[in-house]
Every structure is written in structure tokens, then in C-alpha cells.
Amino acid sequence: MIYAGIDAGSRMIKAVLFDAVKKQIVASGIMDQGVRQDALAQQLFERLLLDHRLDRRAVLGIVATGYGRHTVSFADTVVTEITCHAAGVRHHLPGARTITDIGGQDSKLIRLDAKGAVQDFDMNDRCAAGTGCFLEVVARRLGLSLQELGEMAGRSVKPAAISSMCVVFAETEIVGLLAAGAMAEDIAAGVQAAIARRIASMAGRTLDSPIIFTGGVALVPGMRAALQTALGHPVVVAPEPQMTGALGAAILASRQ
């Protein structure tokens, strides 16, 4: 019994095929987002079916989630990414109580109860300062990939203080730091710390552990450590953190 989850994110489209009997992922894939979201999502879905020799009729239900979930015309229903992330995280880590999701265009902090239901959440979707976009801006300015930026941050001895909470102003601040002779690794580490502080401000004073880190930014070296420092709690990166929402969508499809 196969079910599908499509996560149409702001930067990437992710798809998961889930076997509801074996309780495991059959296939997963990811591709860059574009203008024709529906066509791209369909293309990714069909590619997974073809690569794993599955007939379309074998998929008993499809749930779409994410930024562009309403554009996925072939989905049976849509579910918010908050609910899907909760389901995806709890599949791998049943004891999870807090989820920190940092994507390309927004970041979320999701609190779960003891049974895995969403208690409440906070979202930053109006400013890029706490998202992957901030890291991309800095990486371009320094002429690095996100992987290289993260590795460079790990070599920092004295992270730079990035005070601006707006990406536009922060970029200007970074230009000033470079002109003043600041080391690129200290700037990279300072930016990671600034993103982590933004998440910590959403968390408030109390957090329940375990805290699970999802989203594409979880793959950037150094971000987990920066979050741990800002939150004051251990942070665990979810298995395949970019696929969490799509996995949760597929699991919810199987329950429907």
C-alpha cells in the first residue's frame, strides 16, 4: 500500500513514496522549484514511479504540503507543513517535543505534546534574517557555496557580531566588516549565530526536549552547533531533514 507526499517548498520540490504496511520510505526525490510548480511536481512524482517501476495506480493517496501546496493539482488533498513536519519527525523520532525547521524563505518552531500532536507554533515568514536566504546572500558575497560557508564558519575563533535583523542591512554591515579587515570565517560564524538567535527569540524561555532540526539549512555545517548554543539545549538533526515535510505528507495520506 503506497502513498505519496509532495512538499512544494519555496526553493525545492520534494516527493516521498511511503509503504504504509512496512512503515518505510520506498522512494524519495528532490528538484529545484520553478514557475511551473504543478508541472515540476508532476515530473518529479512520475520520475520516482518510473525509477522504482511502480504503476500510478499503486499509489492510493497523495497529500501536498508546503509553500506551493495549492498548485499541486494531482494531489487528493492539502495539509499544512506544520502538521506534516510533526508527522514526519515523529515517524523517525517518536519522542520529539520541539521541531525547528529552517527553509529557504521561512523558519518555524513547532511544539508537540507527549502524543505528537501540534500544541502551537511560531513562524518567521516576513523577514529573511532567520532563513536559508540569509546564508545564501552571505555565501554569494563571500564567493562560497553553502557547504563551504558552513565549513569556514567552523574555523572561526571570534565570530563577528551581526546586529542587523534585516538581510539588506546585514549585507551592508558585512561589507563594512570586510572593509574593516574582518576574517571571512568570523563573518560566516557570526551569520550562523544571528540566524540561531532569531530562532531562539521565537522559542522564548522554555523548550521541551528532544529538539529536532529539519529543513535544508540543517544540512549546512555548523548550523546545528549554532542552534544548540542559542537555545541552550541539545539539538538533533532529523534523518534526511529536507524530506521531513514530504514524508509527513505521505504518512498523513496513508491515514486518510
Q: Are both 66 and 182 inside the same structural domain?
A: no
Q: Are both 62 and 144 inside the same structural domain?
A: no
Which tens digit of pLDDT belongs to each residue from 192-236? Answer: 998 998 899 888 778 999 999 999 999 999 999 999 999 999 999
Confidence band (pLDDT; 50, 70, 90) for 165? Answer: low
> What CATH number did the domain enclosing 251 receive?
3.30.420.40
Q: Are both 166 and 252 inside the same structural domain?
A: no
Q: Are both 194 and 120 inside the same structural domain?
A: yes
pLDDT given for residue 206 in this prediction: 82
- Domain tally for the chain? 2
pLDDT given for residue 128 in this prediction: 61
Q: Are both 218 and 129 inside the same structural domain?
A: yes
DSSP the chain: -EEEEEEE-SSEEEEEEEETTTTEEEEEEEEE--S-HHHHHHHHHHHHHHHTT--GGGEEEEEEESTTGGG-TT-SEE--HHHHHHHHHHHH-TT--EEEEE-SS-EEEEEE-TTS-EEEEEEE-S-GGGSHHHHHHHHHHHT--HHHHHHHHTT-SS------SSHHHHHHHHHHHHHTT--HHHHHHHHHHHHHHHHHHHH-S--PSPEEEESGGGGSTTHHHHHHHHHTS-EEEPSSGGGHHHHHHHHHHHH-
Q: Which structural domain, as residue segments, surrounds residue 244?
A: 1-93+240-256
Q: Are both 178 and 204 inside the same structural domain?
A: yes
Q: Are both 117 and 163 inside the same structural domain?
A: yes
Higher pLDDT, 83 or 165: 83
Q: Are both 106 and 232 inside the same structural domain?
A: yes
Q: Are both 256 and 233 inside the same structural domain?
A: no
Which tens digit of pLDDT belongs to each residue from 19-69? Answer: 999 999 999 999 998 778 899 999 999 999 999 999 999 999 999 999 899
Q: Are both 53 and 79 inside the same structural domain?
A: yes
Q: Are both 67 and 40 inside the same structural domain?
A: yes
**Starting from the edge strand earliest in sequence, which strands make up the sheet with 107-112, in order?**
118-124, 107-112, 98-102, 211-214, 235-237
Q: Are both 67 and 119 inside the same structural domain?
A: no
Higher pLDDT, 77 or 161: 77
